[in-house]
Structure 1
């Protein structure tokens, strides 16, 4: 929602008027110097939309404000009013309305196209977030990163490395959306004061690492790749169990952490719906994008969202630091998930991150059942993983 600066206005006044933390207003208007506001300058108020209201015969600004729990000046500044007594019945007045419900849909599965639109919507309503395309998939779909917060501690989370684990994107996007609502509404998230998290932590989210694969599972193959992917899928047009990228390479077997072991022992020796590690490590653009992101940023910890088991893995070959165990115990406590230090697996994103940076890394296995997990499990998954999401930020 946009308002225009009047003489005497300030960011701190907008914060009090709309009950939005000052830092969110400042970060939503980075090109505006808050110490020298000029009349007429457009200012974005995050977490609000303007809604039309038809003025009634007996309306007054005080009555409208009281009925809608609004300060009178909030209505005046939005409508650029100078006289609070000048209301004309039948005319349209715009009222500021706080966004209290999430914008991310959890009712239907969504692929890369809808994800891009949802991220664009979130950026519009919460302009203090930063959105960047950090790479592209085999088919040229954008791989986007969202950043929230200005703190020194840097936490990264990602989802949908595996195509038929698309529900992880929905979970991570919903967690982020609830975090944003908590920030702008100044409400606690499971008892946590989130504005403190915002000031202490920078959260990086890549909600869909494998957009081509997710689209394949949900929508079927693109015309340009139909023959190729059907052949990889052993002649089947059913892609519900497909985990790989569009070229049949398992992106979570692509990282240089004993990749040669996985290459030797994995059953598929050529492109397949799952498990094929590729001809070499980091051969796929999606894996390269994620590796480059890690190298360019000094993340303190990472969480990769997968599905199956209500457990998480937090060690790799003894490279994990002592801090990892502290985090693992807290994750276990707040979620009920089982903490597992080591598994007989290599070449995963988490494995490589721990080996490369000697910092805490986690693979979260959400939910139980048969992949892809049905949406009927969504609320249960979300409730259990909320604690992990927050603990990754507050510890």
Structure 2
């Protein structure tokens, strides 16, 4: 919420006025010197947005405050108005907490919906950072959200596979709940999320494969070349429920140089809805963007959310560090998912991360059933995954 500085105001007084932690006020205005605020400067108050109210007969500022359950001092702070000169039909600005803001998470995400929600969230909560880390085959941005200032650097991603986009919804729901918790200072499952913010720098890539997700959730692309391509790969069928790959028919989670040759020799030899690892490692822009992100950042652990099975894969070729087992045991305890150390699979994102960095990496298979999982499972899956998100604070 944009807020105009009035005489005598400081970040500390704004924090007190709106009951938002001071450090979040500072983070949301990190390009402003808190000691050089001037009357008329505009600062952002995270966790709020402004709405308009039309003055009715017999209204007073006090009665409006009581009716809307908004403190009078907050209403007065965003309006230059004589309380004794209210006129019917005039409008007031009223600051409203964003925890009543409406986002739909229990439905499939498209890229357009994801981008719209991310832009809204970074406007409402500018202490989070939104970055573009690459582009898809069809030139759609691949976004990373970064939030927190902690020494533990944790990365989580979703929708490597087209028909697993419920993972995007899970990530976005957690992000929203986390942002609201920070600004309202209400814990999540008794966890103080300000402590989470202080101890963890969290990186989220909610949708690795935007072209594939849109193919599944919106149908054939408008672009004639890619429309013809996916129809050819899918044998003319417009049912894409079995499609895991990117728009060129490459499985992005078989693209990494961790025994890639094994997957090449036993999987599809040409573009397909699933299980084609490409002509060589890291040919696809989505896989490259994720590899470059990891190479650029010093992640302490990574979690790739997939579906389905309610299992957590956590080892690779004996290269995982000893603490990986302690971490996965806690993930399993809080989620009810079964940890599995080794599986006959290679060339995946977490395989490559463990191989290259000797740090904990996890593939978390959410829910159970046939992909794409129905959204009737969303609430259950979210509660299971929420435990894993929060556990990163303790292990």
**Same-fold status (TM-score > 0.5):** yes
The equivalent of 1:228 in structure 2 is 229
* 1:224-303 to 2 correspondences below 5 Å: 224-266=225-267, 268-303=268-303
> Closer, same or farther in 2 for the Cα pair 1:219/1:89, shift >3 Å?
closer
> Closer, same or farther in 2 for the Cα pair 1:11/1:394, shift >3 Å?
farther
- Residue 84 of structure 1 and its aligned partner are, at CA, apart by 4.4
Does the 8 Å CA contact 1:102/1:178 hold for their aligned counterparts?
A: no
The equivalent of 2:8 in structure 1 is 8
Does the 8 Å CA contact 1:248/1:274 hold for their aligned counterparts?
A: yes
Does the 8 Å CA contact 1:104/1:173 hold for their aligned counterparts?
A: no
- 1:319 & 1:112 partners in 2: Cα distance? 35
The question of 1:116 aligning with 2:99 is answered no
> Closer, same or farther in 2 for the Cα pair 1:102/1:94, shift >3 Å?
closer
The equivalent of 1:26 in structure 2 is 26
Does the 8 Å CA contact 1:102/1:181 hold for their aligned counterparts?
A: no
- Residue 258 of structure 1 and its aligned partner are, at CA, apart by 0.8
Structure 1 unaligned regions, length at least 5: none
The equivalent of 1:366 in structure 2 is 366
- 1:48 & 1:394 partners in 2: Cα distance? 30
- Residue 86 of structure 1 and its aligned partner are, at CA, apart by 4.1
- Residue 77 of structure 1 and its aligned partner are, at CA, apart by 1.5
| Post-superposition CA distance 1:163-210 (Å, at most 9, x none) | 111111111111111111111111001110001111221111101000
Structure 2 unaligned regions, length at least 5: none
The range that moved more, 23-32 or 246-255, is 23-32
| Post-superposition CA distance 1:316-350 (Å, at most 9, x none) | 11111122111111111111111111111110000
- 1:85 & 1:71 partners in 2: Cα distance? 18
> Closer, same or farther in 2 for the Cα pair 1:381/1:101, shift >3 Å?
farther
Equivalent pairs, count: 393
> Closer, same or farther in 2 for the Cα pair 1:93/1:102, shift >3 Å?
closer
SS in 2 for 1:147: strand
Does the 8 Å CA contact 2:153/2:203 hold for their aligned counterparts?
A: yes
- 1:194 & 1:200 partners in 2: Cα distance? 10
- 1:84 & 1:149 partners in 2: Cα distance? 41
> Closer, same or farther in 2 for the Cα pair 1:279/1:132, shift >3 Å?
same
Does the 8 Å CA contact 2:105/2:172 hold for their aligned counterparts?
A: no
- 2:79 & 2:26 partners in 1: Cα distance? 22
- Residue 282 of structure 1 and its aligned partner are, at CA, apart by 0.7
> Closer, same or farther in 2 for the Cα pair 1:175/1:102, shift >3 Å?
farther
The question of 1:51 aligning with 2:46 is answered no
SS in 1 for 2:269: coil
- 2:104 & 2:352 partners in 1: Cα distance? 33
Does the 8 Å CA contact 1:182/1:194 hold for their aligned counterparts?
A: yes
- Residue 162 of structure 1 and its aligned partner are, at CA, apart by 0.4
SS in 1 for 2:229: helix
For the aligned residues, what is the CA RMSD?
1.5
- 1:103 & 1:358 partners in 2: Cα distance? 41
Give the TM-score taking structure 2 as reference length: 0.96
The equivalent of 1:156 in structure 2 is 155
- Residue 310 of structure 1 and its aligned partner are, at CA, apart by 0.8
- 1:393 & 1:234 partners in 2: Cα distance? 47
- Residue 69 of structure 1 and its aligned partner are, at CA, apart by 3.5
> Closer, same or farther in 2 for the Cα pair 1:102/1:368, shift >3 Å?
farther
- Residue 68 of structure 1 and its aligned partner are, at CA, apart by 3.4
The equivalent of 2:211 in structure 1 is 212
- Residue 103 of structure 1 and its aligned partner are, at CA, apart by 4.1
The equivalent of 2:139 in structure 1 is 140
| Post-superposition CA distance 1:225-254 (Å, at most 9, x none) | 122211111232221110001111100000
The range that moved more, 188-197 or 233-242, is 233-242
The equivalent of 2:381 in structure 1 is 381
* 1:179-198 to 2 correspondences below 5 Å: 179-198=178-197
| Post-superposition CA distance 1:90-140 (Å, at most 9, x none) | 321121111114643124322112211111111111111111111001110
- 2:394 & 2:178 partners in 1: Cα distance? 13
